[in-house]
């Protein structure tokens, strides 16, 4: 698949965006497509068997035909040398540099915007002047001629677009329907109303564009976490480079007040850093040599030198921006409903408008003019822009706010699942606990020397990457200055969920949990405590036990209580740890159920079992984990949540939500934001559909006029957009 990203500058019509998206999806050449109206970005994948250049030309033509005059920028071309059709040069092809932002356009949008404002204001002035003149004795004929002139001035853009769309077969376009409705009003002598409606429509569109632009800026400010440049140290000179051009291993200098451009490690100096843009927590963190710093973090105090660990595309900032920008691909049920609703709503309303004119007139013999006017009101109300625009905007605003709070959501559909969570399943280590293991106690069997026990423990654990093994190695190294002869190690084998068998200098060493001891019939002394235990045996003789503790994360208990208050009814722990440890933790946190000593595949089976027993299928289940072993079960749950700061790449990739700060309290905050976002979405749906239906019903009884109809169109769209902006004010 070849992925192409196009930026559609000047895209202000949500309905048109939906049409472009639908048409691109229907192309045989395109496997997958998504148009994010908020970011004005069209992303599509071209199937391998099709010519990429020809496919790109078809997509550009669709954009041109549907919404002429957009500024098209090629943001990404998958390292392919592509060309894009230039509309200014009669279909000649102009080269675009790979991966650069080039564009083509029919007109200067900003100049037209200023011109449109002036024309609209002149129409308003003339409209008011004509009414004043009529009161002063202006004849009806001159007044009507003036109104027609004012109508042409106010509706210039609408009339031109409607005329063009007619030849393109777009008879359900808002401009065409508005033109028919107002020309119909003029035909029955309602000159002032036709002009007023066109002026009101223009003002409404202008205000709506401003509101959309405001929302885009709000979202952009939330996502303004990328450094504009990196200070790269080359020899004894500092050269400013685009972060995307900096390579791994290069040295960068970060001055006070600057953002860290790439994920790096401090090699010289120390400073306080603000990582609130990444984690949502505005607490300063003091970091020095050897410490890792994430891209997007702000250096607050002192100049530091860093070595780049990852290229920009692999950095934390790039992943955050990619997740948020592509979140619109996975749509919520309400968004999908609105897309389907919009597809059928306009044709149905237009048919109703025709029936309202025909049935009473030709069947019941009533006044044609009266019912034509009522039918024209239906045409004005027939555009679903308020819904098509405000619902995706509400969800995208919610996703942006969640990101600002350190919670990355990979799709608006997960916001709906998040707000309805009833069951949360936790991994234990690194999720509820710190994930930092420390040796606290050693229990020796009778006649066993501690040095010998630690020596065998070191030999057994030295090749393991498990956190418990690392804690044992660190402990032994800290208290023992002798170097063990590791060359005498003859064999090494890890037994999943049990431990290790190693042969060393002719001896067989067993290091692991109680199941390993029982498997090999070792007569061991079982220790009862809430620690993790490494039992040691050599040549079938029990030597003792090393007790390791993993402390509960600060704030975990308060997080569980906060989640209960937000409607979560059941909490479950799935862990590979012992039953004793798991039960002790469950009692401490008042967890409802606990399943211990599970392998990764058994965790998946257990989650599937829990999900299958749900009476209500809509009751969401989330799994929260951090390690690579959690990736399969994270992917299986209704909502997979990973702890981003210490979580593995595999877990983050498989998850639907990433908590950038390893604090479960951010999950409670995320639920609050998701519920508020849903509240705004419901309000917009009820308001948009409710007012439109109300105006249509009133018009059938002659109780509504075109002013009310235009309010039901652009007025409601504006109110819905403004209502969506309230999400940014959520505290």
Active site residues: 427
Strands (E), 206-317: 230-234, 237-241, 251-254, 264-268, 271-274, 284-287, 292-293, 298-299, 304-308
Residue pair 422/569 in contact (Cβ under 8 Å)? The answer is: yes
Instruction: Report how far residue 30's alpha carbon sits from residue 38's, in angstroms, rounded to the nearest whole number.
Output: 22
Tokens encoding 324: 């948020």
Burial call 108-129: b when 16+ CB within 10 Å, e when fewer = eeeeeeeebeebbeebbebbee
Q: Where are the beta strands (DSSP E) in 173-296?
A: 230-234, 237-241, 251-254, 264-268, 271-274, 284-287, 292-293
The answer for residues whose C-beta is within 8 angstroms of residue 194's C-beta and 6 or more apart is 147, 151, 182, 183, 185, 186, 706
Range 492-521 burial, b when 16+ CB lie within 10 A, else e: bebeebbbbbbebeeeebbbbbbebbeeee
284 vs 344: CA distance, rounded Å: 53
SS3 365: coil
Q: Counting every residue, how long is the chain?
A: 731
* 394 neighbors 412 (Cβ within 8 angstroms): no
Among 429, 400, 403, 434, which residue's Cα sits nearest to residue 624? 429
Asked if residues 321 and 225 have their Cβ atoms less than 8 Å apart, the reply is yes
Q: Residues 327, 348: contact at Cβ < 8 Å?
A: no
Q: Check if the beta carbon of residue 476 is closer than 8 Å to that of residue 457.
A: yes
Burial of 368 by CB count in 10 Å (0-12 exposed, 13-18 middle, 19+ buried)?
middle
Q: Burial level of 703, CB count in 10 A (0-12/13-18/19+)?
A: exposed
Specify whether the CB–CB gap between 532 and 468 falls below 8 A.
yes
Q: Residue 66, class by beta-carbon neighbours within 10 Å (0-12 exposed, 13-18 middle, 19+ buried)?
A: buried
CA distances from residue 377 to 198, 204, 344 in whole angstroms, order as listed: 13, 17, 18
271 vs 255: CA distance, rounded Å: 10
- Residue 539 CA to residue 543 CA, distance in Å, equals 10
d(C-alpha 729, C-alpha 317), whole Å: 24
Neighbouring-strand partners of residue 546: 442, 534
Nearest to 48 by CA among 33, 34, 28: 28
């Amino acid at each position: 698949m070849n992925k192409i990203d196009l930026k559609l500058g000047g895209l202000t019509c949500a309905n048109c965006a939906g049409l472009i998206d639908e048409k691109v999806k229907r192309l045989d050449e395109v496997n997958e497509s998504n148009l994010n109206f908020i970011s004005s970005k069209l992303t599509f994948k071209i199937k391998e068997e099709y010519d990429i250049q020809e496919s790109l030309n078809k997509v550009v033509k669709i954009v041109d035909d549907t919404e002429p005059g957009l500024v098209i920028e090629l943001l990404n071309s998958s390292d392919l040398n592509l060309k894009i059709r230039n509309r200014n040069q009669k279909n000649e092809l102009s080269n675009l540099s790979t991966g650069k932002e080039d564009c083509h356009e029919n007109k200067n949008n900003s100049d037209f915007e200023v011109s449109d404002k002036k024309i609209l204001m002149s129409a308003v002035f003339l409209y008011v002047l004509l009414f004043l003149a009529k009161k002063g004795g202006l004849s009806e004929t001159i007044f009507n001629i003036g109104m027609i002139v004012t109508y042409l001035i106010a509706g210039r853009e609408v009339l031109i677009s409607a005329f063009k769309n007619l030849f393109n077969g777009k008879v359900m376009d808002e401009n065409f329907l508005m033109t028919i409705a107002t020309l119909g009003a003029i035909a029955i002598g309602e000159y002032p109303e036709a002009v007023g409606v066109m002026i009101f429509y223009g003002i409404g569109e202008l205000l709506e564009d401003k509101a959309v632009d405001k929302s885009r800026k709000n979202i952009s400010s939330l996502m303004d976490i990328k450094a504009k440049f990196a200070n790269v140290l080359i020899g004894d000179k500092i050269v400013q480079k685009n972060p995307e051009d900096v390579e791994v291993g290069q040295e960068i200098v970060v001055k006070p007040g600057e953002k860290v451009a790439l994920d790096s490690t401090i090699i010289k100096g120390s400073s306080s850093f603000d990582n609130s843009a990444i984690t949502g927590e505005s607490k300063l963190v003091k970091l020095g040599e050897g410490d890792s710093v994430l891209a997007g973090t702000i250096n607050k105090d002192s100049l530091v030198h860093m070595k780049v660990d990852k290229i920009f595309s692999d950095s934390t900032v790039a992943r955050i921006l990619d997740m948020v920008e592509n979140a619109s691909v996975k749509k919520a049920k309400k968004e999908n409903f609105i897309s389907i609703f919009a597809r059928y709503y306009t044709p149905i309303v237009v048919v109703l408008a025709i029936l309202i004119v025909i049935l009473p007139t030709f069947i019941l013999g009533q006044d044609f003019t009266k019912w034509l006017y009522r039918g024209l009101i239906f045409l004005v109300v027939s555009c679903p822009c308020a819904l098509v625009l405000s619902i995706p905007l509400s969800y995208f605003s919610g996703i942006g706010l969640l990101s600002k709070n350190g919670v990355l959501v990979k799709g608006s559909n997960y916001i709906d699942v998040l707000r309805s969570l009833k069951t949360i399943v936790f991994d234990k280590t690194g999720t509820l606990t710190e994930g930092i293991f420390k040796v606290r106690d050693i229990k020796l069997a009778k006649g066993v020397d501690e040095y010998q026990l630690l020596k065998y423990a070191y030999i057994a654990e030295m090749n393991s990457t498990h956190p418990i093994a690392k804690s044992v190695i660190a402990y032994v190294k800290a208290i023992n200055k002798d170097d063990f002869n590791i060359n005498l190690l003859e064999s090494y084998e890890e037994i999943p969920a049990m431990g290790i068998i190693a042969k060393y200098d002719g001896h067989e060493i067993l290091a692991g949990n109680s199941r390993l001891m029982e498997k090999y019939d070792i007569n061991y002394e079982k220790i009862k405590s809430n620690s993790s235990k490494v039992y040691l045996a050599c040549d079938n003789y029990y030597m003792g036990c090393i007790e390791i503790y993993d402390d509960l994360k600060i704030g975990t208990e308060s997080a569980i209580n906060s989640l209960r208050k937000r409607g979560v009814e059941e909490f479950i722990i799935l862990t590979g740890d012992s039953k004793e440890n798991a039960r002790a933790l469950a009692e401490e946190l008042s967890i409802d159920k606990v399943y211990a000593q599970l392998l990764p595949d058994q965790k998946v089976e257990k989650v599937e079992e829990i999900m299958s027993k749900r009476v209500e299928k809509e009751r969401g289940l989330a799994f929260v984990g951090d390690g690579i072993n959690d990736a399969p079960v994270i992917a299986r749950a209704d909502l997979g949540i990973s702890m981003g700061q210490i979580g593995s790449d595999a877990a983050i990739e498989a998850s639907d939500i990433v908590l950038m700060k390893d604090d479960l309290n951010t999950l409670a905050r995320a639920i609050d934001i998701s519920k508020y976002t849903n509240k705004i979405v419901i309000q917009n749906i009820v308001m948009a559909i409710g007012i439109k239906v109300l105006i249509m019903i009133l018009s059938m009884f002659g109780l509504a006029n075109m002013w009310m109809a235009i309010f039901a169109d652009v007025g409601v769209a504006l109110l819905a957009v403004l209502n969506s902006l309230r999400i940014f004010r959520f505290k």
